[in-house]
Amino acid sequence: MKRQKLFMMAVVVTTFIGCGDFLVEAPQQAIDVDEAMTKGSGVRAMVTGLYSGIHSPAIAGGNYNVIAEIMADNVLWTGSFVTYLDFHNRAMTPANANTTDWWTASYFAINRANIILDAVSTLVDPTDPNLTDAVKNVWRGDAYFGRGILLFKLAFVYSKPWNFTVGNTHLAVPIRTKPVRTPTELENLPRNTLAQVYAQVQADLDSAVNLLPATRPAAERGRATRHAARGYLMRLAMAKSDYAAAANYAQQIIAGGFSLPSSPALAFNGNKFSTESIFEIAWTTSDNPGPNAGQVAFYAPPANGGRGDIRISAAYVTAVGQIITAAQQAAVTAAGGTATDQRVITTAGNANRMLNGLTANTSATLKFALSDRSCNVINMRLPEVLLTRAEALAEQAVDLASVPAEVYTLLNQVRRRAILVSGGTSNQSMIDHSAASFTTKQELIDAILLERRIELAFEGDRFYTLHRKGLSIRLLAPSDNRITFPIPQPEVDANPNMVQNPGY
């Protein structure tokens, strides 16, 4: 019980880290949460704290990308941090600090969301002229969004995949919906089933869609919109292989006014909140997590102030070489032209070196390489949505002949922006895919997944895609015990109702 109380004191105190100046003058142990949450300024600061929690390098500000990538096959981990090496080797333990940090940072932020939802339901503050019902509804939307995405990511990595058991009754993570302000309010909750967690995620994100605005003012860039909430509903549907729902969510986002900049590079580094950005986490020079944590620290080469611990794999180089098919390359060459994948230049700096394999296993990606480490963390972009709708529509088709033409339009929209065809009598249509490019529906789906692999490389997507599709994750099935994260040992020790995952 003593450990449990100490753990919850950390939760209660950490709930207010980054929440604003209204708590600075009081000692930590004297914080009165109930009093703070009766003020518009208090709840407003708590919303800021919620996003601060989501932005943590332990989760969405770093490890959603970093850990997911080093477990999959696009990159190699070459750094000295053993806690990350364990993920690369699929040798995690319950004592791994990153496993614990992912769990605790998520539940700290979930607790903030729960406090916000509880406070806003009765909030009246005559001293705050800016406190309107519309403002409170957006705060509720922020809280539902935060809780929804955090539960979704927790369940994805700490649970076996969807359909592992009949009815998805296998264990996922605890659903916490009640605010915890003091250690005495803590409930030792057991793990809920994956079906239950995903149902809660669906409900939370549905609420977020109804409450969040379509756009945010400049001062709130980096906070969620209804399109971001739909994007996570889309991801949830794909995790469940609910392709009809996923295609519908994707279509609603596509209709939201996003567009592809002329070059893939215009979504990265100093190009923050581009026209294709749906949700991204803002980092500035002053608030980046430093040289030993977060996305940029591990990806950027030393010349740019990073560690360069994550290197491009030979498997990724091979995949790049498959993007332009032999038939497409022959057509371009016969027309006296060249075809260059601009994403490779964004990734490695030089397309020819990449295709010759010279950067494999030795070079860091340049997608996140600002020398001051202020690159935003890209959480969701329009190309993901376009490719998701293409995949979802193709999966619903009976066979190749019945695949709707829209699938090829969506796929080629991504390819035409990425692959520059020039010279002689060549033209962009020479690298387009059509029904004639494939002999089976599965070949088409494989091409969509290949496009996704290259387009979203080093953004954390590869692991999740392999996982939801039931594909090999470097020779291990997604259901393998070594793929599922262990429940952190401090949580097992503190909570008598907590059950550890198999294999740990």
Per residue in 459-489, pLDDT tens?
999 999 999 999 999 999 999 999 999 999 9
Instruction: Report the DSSP beta bridge partners of residue 299.
Output: none
Output the pTM of the full model: 0.93
- List C-alpha distances in Å: 359 to 355, 365, 367: 9, 10, 15
SS3 126: coil
Q: How far apart are CA 70 and CA 88, in angstroms?
A: 5
Q: How far apart are CA 51 and CA 279, in angstroms?
A: 12
Instruction: Report the DSSP beta bridge partners of residue 340.
Output: 420
pLDDT of res. 4: 45
Token output for 496: 């008598």
Distance of CA 73 to the CA centre of its chain: 17
pLDDT of res. 9: 41
Gap between the terminal Cα atoms of the chain: 23
Instruction: Report the DSSP beta bridge partners of residue 223.
Output: 221
Rounded CA Rg of the chain: 23
Q: Choose among 131, 111, 152, 139: nearest CA to 7.
A: 111
Tell me: pLDDT of 32 over 90.
Answer: no
Per residue in 430-461, pLDDT tens?
999 999 999 999 999 999 999 999 999 999 99
- Which has the minimum average pLDDT: 84-88, 297-301, 376-380? 297-301
Q: How far apart are CA 117 and CA 137, in angstroms?
A: 10
Q: Choose among 463, 468, 464, 465: nearest CA to 448.
A: 465
Per-residue pLDDT band for 157 (boundaries 50, 70, 90) equals: very high
Per residue in 114-155, pLDDT tens?
999 999 999 999 999 999 999 999 999 999 999 999 999 999
- Which has the minimum average pLDDT: 157-171, 310-324, 449-463? 310-324
Secondary element (H or E) of residue 63: helix 63-71
Tell me: pLDDT of 365 over 90.
Answer: no
pLDDT of res. 373: 82
Tell me: pLDDT of 29 over 80.
Answer: no
Tell me: pLDDT of 223 over 90.
Answer: yes
Q: Which domains does the chain have, with CATH numbers?
A: 1-225+477-498 (1.25.40.390), 260-278+311-367+380-457 (no CATH)
SS3 173: coil
Per residue in 381-409, pLDDT tens?
999 999 999 999 999 999 999 999 999 99
What mean pLDDT value characterizes the chain?
90
Per residue in 327-346, pLDDT tens?
999 999 999 999 999 888 77
Distance of CA 329 to the CA centre of its chain: 34
SS3 115: helix
Q: How far apart are CA 381 and CA 315, in angstroms?
A: 24
Token output for 389: 């709708």
Q: How far apart are CA 285 and CA 304, in angstroms?
A: 13
Q: Please work out, in degrees rounded to the nearest 5, the angle formed at the alpha carbon of residue 479 by the alpha carbons of 476 and 482.
A: 60
- Which has the minimum average pLDDT: 164-178, 297-311, 420-434? 297-311
Higher pLDDT, 291 or 500: 500
Q: Which residues of 183-205 are buried (b: 16+ CB within 10 A; e: fewer)?
A: beebeeeebbbbbbbbebbbebb
Tell me: pLDDT of 22 over 60.
Answer: no
**If you average pLDDT over residues 416-443, what whole number do you get?**
97
Q: How far apart are CA 444 and CA 441, in angstroms?
A: 5
Secondary element (H or E) of residue 409: helix 405-418
Instruction: Report the DSSP beta bridge partners of residue 381.
Output: 277
pLDDT of res. 21: 29
Token output for 287: 């608030």
